[in-house]
Amino acid sequence: MEENNSLVYGLEFQARALASQQAESNDVRFFVATQSLKPNNQLHVVDLNEDSSALRSRIFAHPLGEVWKLNASAHDPRLLASCYSWLKGTQIVMQAALLTLPESLESADGEQEFLAFAQVEKLATEGYGAEIRTTEFHQTDPNMLACVVDGKIVLFNRAEAATRVVAEINAKNVPKFTTGRWSHFHQGNQFIALHDCSVRSYDVRDPNHVVWTIDEAHSQLVRDLDCNPNKQCHIATGGDDGVLKVWDFRNTKEHVFARSDHHHWIWSVRFNTFHDQLLLSSGSDGKVLLTCAGSVSSEAPEAGSVAAGETESGSSGAAGGSGELREHLADGLLQTFDQHEDSVYGVEWSTADPWMFASLSYDGRMIISKVPKQYKYQILL
């Protein structure tokens, strides 16, 4: 697959739920689920053959309802969590379910249009709230789940025959969370949730304990966050103000990095798992942006290095005669990917190839792209 030749995968229905394969896999695989009002929603498992640059998909029926959020387990390559809505009489109801793919993704008779899940387990979220924002798998404990429901974080354990609720965090004076994510830090005992313009971290061992808070993290609603997997205490956030920010939550008063290159709401932000100076963001402006935040990454340049295109004195040009200076990727916007024609609700890095990522727009178009070679070589060399 050439860097300038993005691959486009089209779905029959509108979609906003995108996830990448997280568990052990050498394959570039993405999961996409549709959001149709009709009772024939689908989940697509899309694999990329890097040698032939061909996409292969297997389509599963998702009759439960229209999918709003999809997450993949970091421990079981066959396990997914779906947050969906369905019409119960005249009322729209939200539900969460664990979906297990069959061991073989091939159709038994070869003519079956849609495949069936090996198992579907609905989570008991009734009584906790109406709006389910996400169901997050724990990073290190394969049996632990967290479900964000209204202003609550409901913890589930899968260790027994049936998944059951083991704890509940009821945030005081918070009517509804926007979303949430397990912290990669502190042995995985904290869950970070977004509320309005603020970010809060809760200790799951003590439901009444708010570990830290970033008040007014954005001037408008915060829509997404991600944890830097390689640098302690660093998270990225994006919101309706169109600003991408990186925070060190040991100092919640001020961000350590910010870019305002989007022209509308930011819906998704993601750190690169291997090279965390690379950040992806997508938004309602129909764009996917690749940003470098090298100065606050785990690969931050040392003294004696210069940004690409600058000499030791800071002027542009070739670093002639300064062979000892190591060139590094400069902070800022690296690339704008504008092949989408609708709001881009999701963007995800591949866990098999650190230079490849997928983005999904509401019109049902998933595009798989690569980091341009010049930036790849500047990082590696």
- Check residue 333 and give its pLDDT: 97
pTM of the full structure: 0.91
- Check residue 309 and give its pLDDT: 53
- Check residue 116 and give its pLDDT: 93
- Residue 220 contacts residue 241 (beta carbons within 8 Å): yes
The mean pLDDT value of the chain amounts to 89
Residue 302 has pLDDT above 70, yes or no: no
- Check residue 51 and give its pLDDT: 83
Exposed e or buried b for every residue in 226-239, given b needs 16+ CB within 10 A? bbbebbebbbbbbb
Q: Token digits for 352?
A: 């098999």
Phi, psi torsion values for 296, nearest 5 degrees: -120, 20
Which region among 57-66, 158-167, 259-268 has the lowest average model confidence (pLDDT)? 158-167
Residue 24 has pLDDT above 90, yes or no: no
Residue 316 has pLDDT above 80, yes or no: no
Give pLDDT tens digits for 50-104: 888 899 999 999 999 999 999 999 999 999 999 999 988 888 899 999 999 999 8
CA distance 177 to 338: 30
Q: What is the mean pLDDT of residues 308-319?
A: 47
- Check residue 108 and give its pLDDT: 64
- Check residue 162 and give its pLDDT: 82
Give pLDDT tens digits for 98-150: 999 999 888 766 667 899 999 999 999 988 999 999 999 999 999 999 999 99
Picking from 39, 28, 40, 32, the residue whose alpha carbon sits closest to that of residue 11 is 32
Share of the chain above pLDDT 90, in %: 73
- Check residue 326 and give its pLDDT: 54
Give pLDDT tens digits for 163-213: 899 889 988 777 799 999 999 888 889 999 999 999 999 999 988 889 999
- Check residue 26 and give its pLDDT: 85
Q: Whats the size of the chain, residue-wise?
A: 381
Strand partners, 360: 346, 366
- Check residue 317 and give its pLDDT: 44
- Check residue 315 and give its pLDDT: 45
Exposed e or buried b for every residue in 24-40, given b needs 16+ CB within 10 A? eeeebbbbbbbbbeeee
**DSSP code per residue over 181-200:** EE-SSGGG-EEEEEETTEEE
- Residue 330 contacts residue 307 (beta carbons within 8 Å): yes
CA distance 290 to 21: 21
Domain ranges within the chain, ordered by starting residue: 10-123
CA distance 209 to 221: 23
Q: What is the mean pLDDT of residues 256-268?
A: 96
Q: Token digits for 89?
A: 């009489």
C-alpha dist (Å) from residue 176 to 150, 171, 240, 269, 348? 4, 9, 17, 21, 25
